[in-house]
Structure 1
Amino acid sequence: MKRYLCMGLVFLLAVSLFAGCGGRLNVDRSTVYVQKKGTVLSADVIQFDKAHYDETELEEGIKSQVEEYCSEAGDKVSMESFAVKDGVAKLNLKFDTFEDYQNFIQIELYSGNIVKARAEGYDFDAEFFSVSDGEKKSVSTEEVLEADDNKVVIIKANVDVKVDGTILYVSGENTSVKGKDTASIAGDEERSEEADVTYIIYK
């Protein structure tokens, strides 16, 4: 169950992000930002139809879901802001760890290095591409695993993913890069159960 699902709207929201140091980064596509210190910053963005949703009731519902989670897990999730402007609803959330993001949002997410990811059962059975020079080139899984102290974000959602570092490899034909620190995973449905598991390796 989506913990912050309220009146059907938040279930459809797409993940956006904060920038570091308390600032915000405006994005035009759903994005998850995995920070160096382990926190995950996100913001949900969707067209808001006031004819079908009540802004105040929705905000209170989201707050309630956050409070419920924190009552069980501790103060691991915070709702930074919620606003509706020009027909667009934006929900900003902060998570202490990737586990909190995964448990709250119910989207698979992992952050660590390659060694730890493999120990957790991730087999890296995917088609990989080098992107460090700005061009997407096919590489072997063996090459990707060679430097097993490199960091990896693993996610099962069609979103953009920002990291604190330089992306070296990505998996999937539908994954590209937008600058050195952001990967873009294309797909028809951002939170589709059919989304592939995507690996993003960086240093």
Structure 2
Amino acid sequence: MQIKLNLFVEAMQDAPVIAAVKNDEGLDRALSSGCTVVFLLYGTILNIGELVRRVKEAGKLAFIHIDLIEGMSARDISAEYIASRTEADGVISTHPNLIRRARELGLLTIQRFFMLDSLSFANVLRQSSNADVVDVLPGAIPSVISHLVREVRQPLIASGLLLDKSDVVAALSAGAVAVSTTSERLWSV
């Protein structure tokens, strides 16, 4: 597992912007972009294997946001399905049980947290110990990112509400190892 995590961190050093895609058109553009990692934020239980295959054929790392895949639930069987029926490098979820089970199955795990208030901040510190990587939304809050980087032991990704290059630079400067965005104009920053 540590080897996979090291490969992911190295990929982030080479290209710290992650292409997060919500549809087939976005996936097509992500596959031809310089991004080395793709977050699949769409799909169904019927086509997710094919979507992952396309990402892998393009030489990129593929992460599936289990919570957003039609036909999957917040039950361990969803992680088992991803591990046995796709070539995904890892999963993203807000559900600690899915993170735990995916790690047991050898997948890299990214636990996503929505930062709404100081209770959300405390929740990150309390629940993030099992994931390989922590992902916080919105990613355009560099002061919170810098505090979290000092507190959590995992690499941190900043996602969501990144509007321009200055937001990307601010998140990376605050200590995030990468940013994830659906904004295609930021994929080449």
More helix by share: 2
| TM-score of the alignment, normalized to the shorter chain, above 0.5 | no
What TM-score, normalized to structure 1? 0.32
What TM-score, normalized to structure 2? 0.33
More strand by share: 1
Give the number of the structure whose alpha-carbon radius of gyration is greater: 1
